Amino acid sequence: DVKVTQSSRYLVKRTGEKVFLECVQDMDHENMFWYRQDPGLGLRLIYFSYDVKMKEKGDIPEGYSVSREKKERFSLILESASTNQTSMYLCASSSGGRGVGTDTQYFGPGTRLTVL
Amino acid sequence: GQSLEQPSEVTAVEGAIVQINCTYQTSGFYGLSWYQQHDGGAPTFLSYNALDGLEETGRFSSFLSRSDSYGYLLLQELQMKDSASYFCASRGSGTYKYIFGTGTRLKVLA
């Protein structure tokens, strides 16, 4: 079974702090994704990566950056946390290439971040 | 751009059949996927339609009409454990970008 793990289930930070959320997958997947999930807004894509050191912006990248130095690890960074970044953050991975349709996403358990 | 629209909530009784719709707008299209998410849990993959028509997996079926930019998830013989949120998702052709719909919360009543 694919396993995607995230560094924390719950995190509380203060406004202005730098926050690191880490995600690790154990299935040698090429693609990794970071989403945030808010009530009524579904899952919104923040950033994704299709290869080591490669990254692309999703729909809501403002206030976030990412790092992928190793294939199995994808980090989401909040340079200066703000209260409007309080949310559930979900990491996912998939094995598909550009020509693969289904590209099933496997999700981690999520990190509920609260910024005070 | 890409967008997928779903009804926000659907309610049905145990044993019934329910349909959750998804309309999409994408620049290019690689098929429609469906995910289930229970409260407090992570989304899990249910079904995928690459081509028009119906795909059946046990009590769940999914349908796609590319000409109408429309799909649906059909849940039969509803059980209480089916109470969850359901998301459609798609990827545009030639991109790795994967987008989810707004989600439909299904409530199954006894």
The whole-number average pLDDT for the span B78-97 is 88
Measured CA to CA, the distance from residue A92 to residue B97 in angstroms comes to 12
- pLDDT class of B57 with cuts at 50, 70, 90: confident
Query: Which structure tokens are listed for B74?
Result: 């059909």
Sheet holding A4-6, edge to edge: A4-6, A19-25, A73-78, A64-70
Q: Is the pLDDT at A65 greater than 70, yes or no?
A: yes
Q: Is the pLDDT at B29 greater than 80, yes or no?
A: no
A104 to B48: CB separation less than 8 angstroms, yes or no: yes
Of A2-6, A95-99, B83-87, B102-106, the range with the lowest mean pLDDT is A95-99
Distance from CA of B17 to the nearest CA of A (A): 24
Q: Is the pLDDT at B36 greater than 90, yes or no?
A: yes
Percent of chain B with pLDDT over 70: 95
A102 to B31: CB separation less than 8 angstroms, yes or no: yes
The whole-number average pLDDT for the span A101-107 is 78
Given this model, what pLDDT does residue A21 score?
Answer: 98
Round the average pLDDT of chain B to a whole number and report it. Answer: 91
B91 to A90: CB separation less than 8 angstroms, yes or no: no
* A46 vs A98: which has the higher pLDDT: A46
The whole-number average pLDDT for the span B63-79 is 95
The four Cα atoms A98, A88, B45, B94 give a dihedral, to 10 degrees, of -10
Measured CA to CA, the distance from residue A108 to residue A96 in angstroms comes to 18
Most confident of the following: A29-33, A85-89, B88-92:
A85-89
- pLDDT class of A101 with cuts at 50, 70, 90: low
Given this model, what pLDDT does residue B96 score?
Answer: 74
Q: Is the pLDDT at B92 greater than 80, yes or no?
A: no
Distance from CA of A36 to the nearest CA of B (A): 11
